[in-house]
Amino acid sequence: MDTATRESRRRTILREQESRIVDAAAAEFRRAGVKQADIERIARDAGVSRATVYRRFANRDELLAEVIARVRRRLLGKVADRVEGLDAKSVVVEAFTLAMIDIRHDALLQQILGDSPETVDALFGLSSPQVQDMIDEFGERIAVTLRSAGAAMPDAELRQAAEVLVRLAISLMSARSTTLDTDKESAVRAFAGTFLAPMIW
């Protein structure tokens, strides 16, 4: 086996090992919460030593950040699947409803946020240095989805509207509204249809 093949195999093994650790951490965070999570159990469930966990992730915060990054990628995929084939206004209603009803009630997210409400910043980047990057990423994906769904508005306006949608969803997930029942799907749909969908043309 040549050096390049050995190095490629080593990288594959490390990626698979890291993925198992993140899977085990997500399960442990869901079961016990972040603060009570047992690194020893995470290591055991991932089939590695505690030392290996700490070689791959320097501390619990790094491990949590990777779990949250994976959750964000999964949620973006879920939104994309839900809105496929819809017109632009329906995309807004479906994506917003998904964020408020399905995503906000995700068991892992609820355990993470319930255990450590300050981790909402890690999830959504509200006060982290990466805040603009996160909003840009979500906003850009929404803008592309809206354009492919038939939105005809100029690019700059579409990007602004997408950013407003992202910021509003994050705000409502972070702090309860006193005027919108975000637990009631019909109320969320009506709100999105009345106030948000008309932004897109």
pLDDT in tens, 71-127: 878 888 888 898 999 999 999 999 999 988 877 777 787 777 666 555 555 555 445
Q: Is pLDDT of 2 > 60?
A: yes
Q: Is pLDDT of 9 > 60?
A: yes
Collapsed DSSP state (helix, strand, coil) of residue 30: helix
**In terms of domains, do 88 and 172 share one?**
yes
The Cα 38–Cα 72 span in angstroms is 23
88 touches 158 (CB < 8 A): no
Amino acid at 170: I
Q: For the chain, first and last CA: distance in Å?
A: 58
Assign residue 30 the CATH number of its domain.
1.10.10.60
The Cα 179–Cα 8 span in angstroms is 55
Specify the pTM: 0.71
Q: What is the DSSP letter of 127?
A: S
**Last residue in a domain, options 57, 82, 103:** 57
**Last residue in a domain, options 36, 57, 78:** 57
Phi and psi at residue 197, in whole multiples of 5°? -55, -40
Structure tokens at 87: 């017109």
Give the residue numbers spanning the domain of 155: 60-199
Give me the number of domains the chain comprises. Answer: 2
